[in-house]
Amino acid sequence: MHELAVTESLLQVVLRHANEGGAGKVVSVSVRIGGLSDLVNEWVQRYFDHLSRGTIAEGAVIRIERIPTTFRCDQCGHVFPADPRTREEIRCPLCSSAEMTLATGRECFVQQIEVVNGFGA
């Protein structure tokens, strides 16, 4: 995924929620991103700073939390953490099956938005 496109959609979610809640200003945004995502935290913040200029989200701090990559075994249903980027063969630790489905790792969503209400504050 490309940081700019992702950050644009994040900003839209943030602004929609902030407007619905009658927020005066967005202070920080907590974002959860899957461990398989190659998004660079620093670039998300930079793009956000750029895109949010002139909006109530201007100056907000982006807090990025990584979600560990996990797989669900197709044979026994066991969910376990594994990193496919190590290029080692991944097998279920319970039944040794090599048939599995990605359970988490590609997420990207806004977890929490911290705002201050009204004018000035």
26-65 core/surface letters (b: 16 or more CB in 10 A; e: else): beebebbbbbbbebeeeebbebbbebbeebbbeebebebe
The binding site for Zn ion (CB under 5 A) comprises: 73, 75-76, 78, 92, 94-95, 97
CB 47 within 8 A of CB 63: no
> Which secondary structure element, helix H or strand E, spans residue 114, and what is its range?
strand 108-117
In the complex, least distance from residue 93 CB atom to Zn ion, rounded to whole angstroms: 8
In the complex, least distance from residue 102 CB atom to Zn ion, rounded to whole angstroms: 15
Structure tokens at 36: 């398989």
Residue (40 or 79) nearer to Zn ion, CB: 79
Residue (9 or 97) nearer to Zn ion, CB: 97
Residue (4 or 76) nearer to Zn ion, CB: 76
In the complex, least distance from residue 92 CB atom to Zn ion, rounded to whole angstroms: 3
